[in-house]
Chains A and B, each alone.
Chain A
Amino acid sequence: MPDEMLHLPMVNSLLERHKGSAGALLPILHDIQERIGYIPDAAIPEIAHALNQSQAEVRGVISFYHDFRTAPPARHILRLCRAESCKSRGAEQLAAQLRERLQLDDHGSSADGSISLRPVYCLGACACSPALELDGRVHARLSAERLDALLDACREDA
């Protein structure tokens, strides 16, 4: 892991940008994660100081929300929808296919570092279930073949 201290100038410039904005912790965390890929531990004292909060409060917020990561993700992030609409169209079979191919539980990163897997509960694509999100892009009307093709593409660009 690179030295997290290297991220601090960026963190501080983001904090400066949100200064004076009410209730800015979520936008700050989103901005940091978007630029760095996760929330580095070294950023937490800086955030707490800028917002006049305790580090415990900042950590409490980070751990509450599913979106925030405290470690770098794999090269690709795949979120398979596991909510009711997709379940009614075979999402559980797709989940089994993912576990099998990636040798992973529903959460985690594949051993080769190519794919981070996470469940998601609804992508708003319910009229064309089942659906997943790969690197921010939604794919709907999924089939087992389509899922395999998407996984192959993720593996190939290693």
Chain B
Amino acid sequence: MMPSLYLPSDSLARAVGADEVAVALITQARERNLPLELQRTSSRGLYWLEPLLEMDSPQGRIGFGPLTAADVPSVLDALGEPSAHPLALGLVEELPYLKTQQRLLFARAGITRPLSLDDYREHGGFEGLKRAVTIGGEQTATEVFDSGLRGRGGAAFPAGIKWRTVRATQAAQKYIVCNADEGDSGTFADRMLMEGDPFLLIEGMAIAGLCVGATYGYIYVRSEYPDAVATLRAALNIARTAGYLGSNVGGSGQAFDMEVRVGAGAYICGEETALLDSLEGKRGIVRAKPPIPALKGLFGLPTLVHNVLTLASVPLILAKGAQFYRDYGMGRSLGTMPFQLAGNIRHGGLVERAFGLTLRELVEDYGGGTASGRPLKAAQVGGPLGAWVPPAQFDTPLDYEAFAAIGAMLGHGGVVVADDSLDMAHMARFAMQFCAEESCGKCTPCRIGSTRGVEVIDRLLAAPDQSGRDEQVIILKDLCDTLQYGSLCALGGMVSFPVASALKHFPADFGLQPSEAEQ
């Protein structure tokens, strides 16, 4: 009897050869007359081990990885005695990287098939919706409020307040909008979740729709994620057929349906008001707030806008109760956060833990240091608009407030690690250049300041003497202030974080003495 085999269909697993491994497994098993049962599941998020093949055993699933198609014959030879294979990993759930995580949101990652409704339901799926239907909208909003859940897109606004605001606003039509425009470098948790567990997001949006009285929703997915788009669209059809969407959602008597919309390569559309304009078929231009989207959002109507991970946290909060969720985390950062280890890191992947572990634990214990083996220089936390954090500050706990206190931010939980070969002056210049490229152009500090920023950094790097450099440093800091306090949205408002942190912590890369950068 051939055991069941599992291999991820996740787009990054495929980008490192999972499909080639699958084809080799199928053809070679056929040649050997082995009755092969291969399931394509989601990814565990242990990406340095991808393609990661798993096999049932009496103790649980055992793994092999990272595999190439060339390893397939030896893996098939070793199925009788798996531990003998050089790429055998033992029990996957006993791997320290996974075992020490607290997977609430990604509980099904690597285990279930993304489009199997049965797999989803067998692993707790739709329990949250069932409870939401039973307890009603008012109580649902209270659960979300009491859980302490904050927006996972980066701004960390308390979700329950938004839910109550939209719920209390009277309108003929309200909307739920999921922001799946995950454009920050170093982040991939939204992609993993949409590709791997699409029903979780659908369930979260349905609960939100029932609670706030919205009957229609949109998932705005960036065009760089075609696999997520295809998986979500297929999942929507399956959920609709099963009665989880439509005129009577989960037997509630209320209607809710939704569709997937695809972005078109504009980073700014990850900003919620630009996203709303884009959904309306316009250029993605940032809107001034107020009015807030909860009151006047999509097409001028009350709209609940949340990131993928925020909405996907809701089913669990409903199923297990607010208190269960609050028991994770620290201070005002409650629950778990899927951190994403990226860049020059040995063990890149997804680490879901309660808030409060330190950046050092994340980068060194989980990540295993740099992939290149060279000394660690810095980590950029929270995407392209996040600060470069030097190793001296790595003992900071991963908590919204603790990061704000050191002039950094957690954002969407992405961590890009860099070794000593990365030139921070180049990265600071790139941050300004990226802002100039992606600015929507509505406000002057961002539209003009970002281009001036590139020029100032170029002049600073070209300055022949200390007085020339001092002059440019003063201008650059002044410009960062103008951007930070004068911009309409976070793009211009936060581009100063990577620039100012690079200047402060790595003055030598700008040709400065430490004292010059401190002035």
Contacts and interface: CB of A to CB of B under 8 A. Distances in A.
Given A122-B183, A126-B188, A141-B16, A88 B418 contact: yes
Interface stretch (B103-111, B221-229, B235-243): B221-229
A140 interface: yes
Interface in A58-74: 60-61, 64-68
Contacts of B345: 127
Contact of B281 (A61, A84, A127, A133): A61
Count chain B CB atoms within 10 A of each CB in A30, A122, A140 and give the residue with the most: A122
Contact of B11 (A57, A85, A138, A141): A138
B344 interface: yes
B184 A88 contact: no
Interface string B242-270: 00000000000000000001111111000
B299 interface: yes
Given A88-B422, A89-B371, A131-B15, A122 B184 contact: yes
A27 B416 contact: no
Interface string A41-63: 00000000001000001001100
A139 B280 contact: no
Interface stretch (A9-17, A18-26, A96-104, A148-156): A18-26
B369 interface: no
B469 interface: no
A51 B281 contact: yes
A11 B45 CA distance: 41
A43 B224 CA distance: 25
B457 interface: no
B343 interface: yes
B262 to A, nearest CB: 6
Interface size class of B (residues with CB under 8 A): 35 or more
A109 interface: no
A85 B281 contact: no
A55 to B, nearest CB: 15
Contacts of B16: 128, 140-141
A83 B422 CA distance: 13
Contacts, number: 152
Contacts of B45: 127
B97 interface: no
A81 B225 CA distance: 13
A27 B434 contact: no
Given A22-B299, A136-B226, A89 B14 contact: no
B287 to A, nearest CB: 15
A86 interface: yes
Given A87-B422, A124-B188, A127-B348, A30 B282 contact: no
Contacts of A122: 182-187, 224
Given A61-B282, A85-B342, A127-B48, A66 B12 contact: no
Interface residues of A, number: 43
A128 B416 contact: no
B341 A127 contact: yes
Contact of B262 (A27, A128, A137): A27
A147 interface: no
Interface in B272-299: 278-284, 299
B29 interface: no
B394 interface: no
Contacts of A57: 282
Interface string B41-70: 000010110100000000000000000000
A16 to B, nearest CB: 17
B148 interface: no
A126 B414 contact: yes
A95 interface: no
Nearest to B284: A64
A24 B261 CA distance: 9
B265 A65 contact: yes
Contacts of A88: 343-344, 416-419, 422
B461 interface: no
B384 interface: yes
Contacts of B187: 122, 124, 126
A129 interface: yes
A77 interface: no
A33 to B, nearest CB: 9
A83 B261 CA distance: 24
Which of A51, A89, A140 gathers the greatest number of chain B CB atoms within 10 Å?
A: A89
B422 A138 contact: no
B174 interface: no
A66 B50 contact: no
Interface in A103-154: 120-129, 131, 133, 136-141
Given A60-B283, A65-B265, A121-B434, A86 B185 contact: yes
B328 interface: no
Contacts of B380: 84
Nearest to B216: A22
B349 interface: yes
A78 interface: no
A116 to B, nearest CB: 14
B40 interface: no
B266 A64 contact: yes
Contacts of B278: 26
A125 B281 contact: no
A97 B261 CA distance: 35
A127 B427 contact: no
- Can you list the 5 inter-chain pairs with the closest CB atoms, starting with the nearest? A127-B348, A126-B342, A25-B281, A83-B185, A65-B264
Given A124-B188, A126-B348, A127-B348, 15 more contacts: A23-B280, A26-B261, A26-B281, A29-B264, A60-B283, A61-B283, A67-B223, A67-B265, A81-B185, A122-B224, A128-B50, A129-B344, A136-B226, A137-B15, A140-B15
10 contacts: A57-B282, A61-B283, A84-B430, A88-B344, A88-B417, A123-B224, A124-B187, A127-B342, A127-B345, A138-B11
Interface of A: 22-27, 29-30, 51, 57, 60-61, 64-68, 81, 83-89, 120-129, 131, 133, 136-141
